[in-house]
Amino acid sequence: MPLSIQSIHQKFQALQSGRVQSPQYILFPAATLKITLNSECTIACDGCFHQSSNEPFKRFLETRKLSVEQMKELILEAQVEFGVPLVEFSGGEPTLDRKALLELIAFCTGLGIKTRLITNGSLVGGEGTYKESLRPYLSPDLKNLSGIQYAQELKLARLTSVIVSIDVMHTSSQEEHALSTLQLHNKVPVTIVGLAIRNLMSVGFGFEPEENAGRANKTLRIGVTAAGDDYKPSFELVKTALGLAASDWEDLLPVADAKTYRVVQRKSGQRVYIHRNQTADIGFGKTLPINRLRGPLGETVYDRMCYHFAGPIGSDGGPNGELFVDNTGYVYTCPMGSYRIGSVHTHTLAGIVGYVNAGTPPKEYEVGVGMFRMLKMIGYLTEYSNSMGLAYQILVHMDPSLVEEIESQRSHSGACHTLGHSKKYLDMLTHFFENELIE
């Protein structure tokens, strides 16, 4: 039996006996509040994290959508209760909700809260054939708004930072004129993404203020969500988009490797901060083959790491405390939607955080809260971020016949999502730690 399993069992026993001190908090969201503005999107990714519609511009059918005023109330509560310094807006494609997006950015600015936008670049770079393909589905205020005008509006609203998603799920290597309307609505052409980056740089994103210390505050970033066979072609798309955006890069892009972060810089001093998200195996998307899910170094589900569960947990919940609220009001502990812990229609954010820390959630959230607490404690006790991988190792140790089931579920809904929605797996892990270890 792997030493890691034996060791973690011993640590849990020590915790239960009082020989190891319990953390003050399991969750304290002092880092980021992440809000999904909408479920509409301009593309149909085959691995969407946010349950956005697979048909472009078709609203995901939900009965309760948060209003702008409700989102403002959440932002204010997050600042007052937890001192949250950053609010992140995603979707769907958040730029489709232009009025709400600009209003919320301005609201955060007025409170002294930094803001971050995650976009696929379709509207900030949209023009020509591509923009014409979108026009029938756009709201009146977007139909004649150019990409550069949108970039200027974001800057005037004092948006702090932008992350442009570029990878094989979001981006097509073909130019827009070579694609059919259906293809245009599946992925954003790399030429459009390159133009989006150019527009953002032209209005000043990429010049770093002195106070922008730390990776999270970089004003212009590229998010590369890729693993397995998607990894190298995704970085080729990044290189192409940057080449289209500008010609004076000092070092355009090194060969793709396992590094999580890298920086490219123009002679003007503008920088683009590139962040690799090794999370292609997390989310609600269509079935993805296993060769697209393994990590860049061949990692499997048993090596699965996530910074959300990295220990130790300090008095403020650690460096990774964040909450994600989708546009229907459900609350999760991360933007992948894996651990549903509550709803703002029935509880305040402070109330939700309170019962997560106490381990007393309402019945409908017992699995999400229970599994989040379980993985967080594994990270706390091991001071390592491999909580998910360890959890899967333990499950297979308890029942080797689960291997096929775990791999099958993982290829459909993701390693993290599978854990966060399985009462069976939570019960098995709870039993493992509450009973004597069987060799």
Domains in the chain: ranges and CATH: 3-25+309-434 (no CATH), 32-299 (3.20.20)
State yes or no: pLDDT of 368 exceeds 90.
yes
State yes or no: pLDDT of 310 exceeds 90.
no
% of the chain exceeding 90 in pLDDT: 41
State yes or no: pLDDT of 224 exceeds 50.
yes
Nearest to 433 by CA among 385, 384, 400, 397: 397
Mean pLDDT of 393-418: 76
The answer to whether the CB of 183 falls within 8 A of the CB of 172 is yes
Looking at per-residue confidence, does 160 or 41 come out higher? 160
Report yes or no on whether pTM surpasses 0.95: no
Tell me what pLDDT residue 108 has. 97
State yes or no: pLDDT of 178 exceeds 70.
no
**Counting Cβ atoms within 10 Å, is residue 26 exposed (0-12), middle (13-18) or buried (19+)?**
buried
Nearest to 387 by CA among 310, 334, 321, 332: 310
What confidence tens digit (pLDDT) does each residue in 39-65 have?
888 887 766 666 554 454 444 444 458
Tell me what pLDDT residue 379 has. 83
Confidence of residue 338 (pLDDT cuts 50, 70, 90): confident
CA angle 358, 359, 360 (to 5 degrees): 90
In angstroms, rounded to a whole number, what is the distance separating the alpha carbons of residues 104 and 115?
A: 9
Nearest to 104 by CA among 426, 294, 403, 95: 95
In angstroms, rounded to a whole number, what is the distance separating the alpha carbons of residues 55 and 44?
A: 6
192 φ, ψ (degrees, to nearest 5):
-70, -40
In angstroms, rounded to a whole number, what is the distance separating the alpha carbons of residues 164 and 274?
A: 10
The answer to whether the CB of 428 falls within 8 A of the CB of 395 is yes
Taking CB atoms within 8 Å and a gap of at least 24, the contacts of 97-104 are 97/37, 97/38, 97/40, 98/139, 98/141, 98/142, 98/145, 98/150, 98/153, 99/141, 100/37, 100/68, 100/71, 101/37, 102/153, 102/154, 102/157, 103/68, 104/35, 104/37, 104/68, 104/71, 104/72, 104/75
State yes or no: pLDDT of 8 exceeds 60.
yes
Neighbours of 433 (CB within 10 A): 18
Q: Mean pLDDT for the chain?
A: 81
Beta bridge partners of 165: 223
State yes or no: pLDDT of 373 exceeds 70.
yes
Beta bridge partners of 163: 118, 221
Nearest to 146 by CA among 98, 88, 207: 98
Contacts of 349 (CB under 8 A, 6+ apart): 29, 74, 77, 78, 81, 82, 323, 331
Mean pLDDT of 152-166: 95
Read off the amino acid at residue 62.
E
State yes or no: pLDDT of 427 exceeds 80.
yes
The answer to whether the CB of 200 falls within 8 A of the CB of 162 is yes
Distances, alpha carbon 176 to alpha carbons 133, 138, 185, 265, 380, in Å: 10, 18, 11, 27, 48
Looking at per-residue confidence, does 384 or 422 come out higher? 422
What confidence tens digit (pLDDT) does each residue in 339-359 have?
999 999 999 999 999 999 999
Peptide bond before residue 233 is cis, with ω within 30 degrees of 0: no
Q: DSSP string covering 277-321, please?
A: E--TTBSS-S---GGGTS-TT---GGG---GGG-S---TTS-TT-
Confidence of residue 110 (pLDDT cuts 50, 70, 90): very high
The answer to whether the CB of 170 falls within 8 A of the CB of 127 is no
State yes or no: pLDDT of 163 exceeds 60.
yes
114-119 β-sheet, strand order: 261-265, 271-277, 220-225, 161-165, 114-119, 86-90, 32-36, 322-325, 330-332, 340-343
